[in-house]
A and B are shown apart, each in its own frame.
Chain A
């Protein structure tokens, strides 16, 4: 009888004494460094709901700061390997989730966009470099990754977001607030929705500022992880109003590779620096063209100009997007290329850029703005 008892219970008792403590698990996970935030994932509070069963099964939630995290898969493998190597661990279950944190550890939400966690501006300085195309595709890529995303077209004179997202409805008004248009899962608002058709907006500068403020304050944006703002070209009223009205998380600057474009992009970047808006980085659009008949790669507008400028200015280079007929065709049809042709080189470039933008944005969540007290 005695020996049977021993045999029946010997195995679980031994494994219980060998299963690691939660602290041991956290200690090994603390070896994983977040490359963008420069700290380990445990002290960043990314490990949640940690459970170690008496049988040595370890399960936890790995909460990223963005669903578009560029190192998501690497983190998961690293976590599985590190925890799996602890003696006594019989199995590892890692649940990957994401929770976008609000920018700047604010004590209370911003009054002007209360439900919005991160505001990302897309600017260029020069016109015609594909700013709207980039903004639409970054927004769509973040949405595809699982985030709640809004897209605000701040170009009052030349709104192109309605056409590029295929949204031509006039926004509804509910309780004095405009409802954004739903397009491809994005919440979209543009002056082109409010004044559709071919009638121009003939406004002086101060009116532009008012119009942009209205699109932020009088639109029911609801809860958003990211609000992507497509800025008009230039370093004047629109950009200034935006930088003054909301604490922008950061600004991504789009340019084409030739000197004429990069020089102006640099001016835009320096403007935002003066306004203390963090440059998230430079994006090179129309970087190369692969000829469909000869298969040869042409660099029509030169190549590498944005990367060189980024290096010179000490800001990140976020990526290059090829000049592709499909990007233009789908934009004209109202579908962002990341949705219509996810396998194309252009779509892949946009997805990569969006995750770089998201990673740079996350860094801002850990910044504490100055605290001001008046007595």
Chain B
């Protein structure tokens, strides 16, 4: 998935990275209990392939995977912070 931001910057994300970053309660856990992703070491291919992306208002994307998992709302703030291009990595590691 590729996002071109309002300022022109481009970020790309693999399905794999997005799936492991899923912010939903089932994956992250809630009320102190660990979520599904904390218990698992690996996921099937179907879990990692992006099937569809829906805009939620104007603050987030709802990403659906081939496995049918689609409860995660990825906010733009989160996605922007996840950008791992060399330029963004360098900015983050700068003091």
A residues touching B (Cβ–Cβ < 8 Å)? 104, 243-248, 274-277, 367-375
Task: List the B side residues contacting A371 at CB < 8 Å.
Answer: 3-4
B61 in the interface (beta carbon within 8 A):
yes
Q: Which of A247, A274, A374 lies in contact with B55, CB distance below 8 A?
A: A247
Q: Which of B4, B53, B58, B75 lies in contact with A248, CB distance below 8 A?
A: B58
**Cβ contact within 8 Å between B59 and A274:** yes
B30 in the interface (beta carbon within 8 A):
no
Task: List the B side residues contacting A246 at CB < 8 Å.
Answer: 57
How many pairs of residues, A versus B, come closer than 8 Å at their CB atoms? 53
**Cβ contact within 8 Å between A368 and B2:** no
A368 to B58, CA, bound (A): 11
**Cβ contact within 8 Å between B2 and A373:** yes
Task: List the A side residues contacting B1 at CB < 8 Å.
Answer: 372-375
A371 to B76, CA, bound (A): 11
**Cβ contact within 8 Å between A277 and B58:** yes
B residues touching A (Cβ–Cβ < 8 Å)? 1-6, 50, 52-53, 55-61, 75-76
A373 to B13, CA, bound (A): 10
- Ranked 10 nearest A-B pairs via Cβ: A276-B59, A371-B4, A247-B58, A243-B57, A373-B2, A244-B57, A275-B59, A374-B1, A244-B56, A276-B58
**Cβ contact within 8 Å between B61 and A372:** yes
**Cβ contact within 8 Å between A375 and B2:** yes
Task: List the A side residues contacting B52 at CB < 8 Å.
Answer: 374
Residue of B nearest to A369 (CB): B58
A244 to B55, CA, bound (A): 8
Apart from the given pairs A276-B59, A276-B75, A374-B53, 17 other A-B contacts in the complex at a CB distance below 8 Å: A243-B57, A243-B59, A244-B56, A245-B57, A248-B58, A275-B57, A275-B58, A276-B57, A276-B58, A276-B76, A277-B57, A369-B6, A370-B5, A372-B1, A372-B3, A374-B1, A374-B50
Q: Which of A247, A370, A373, A374 lies in contact with B57, CB distance below 8 A?
A: A247
Task: List the A side residues contacting B59 at CB < 8 Å.
Answer: 243, 274-277
Task: List the B side residues contacting A368 at CB < 8 Å.
Answer: 6
Name the distance in Å between A205's Cβ and chain B's nearest Cβ. Answer: 16
Task: List the A side residues contacting B55 at CB < 8 Å.
Answer: 247, 372
Task: List the A side residues contacting B53 at CB < 8 Å.
Answer: 372, 374
Task: List the A side residues contacting B56 at CB < 8 Å.
Answer: 244
Task: List the B side residues contacting A369 at CB < 8 Å.
Answer: 6, 58
Residue of A nearest to B59 (CB): A276
Name the distance in Å between B12's Cβ and chain A's nearest Cβ. Answer: 9
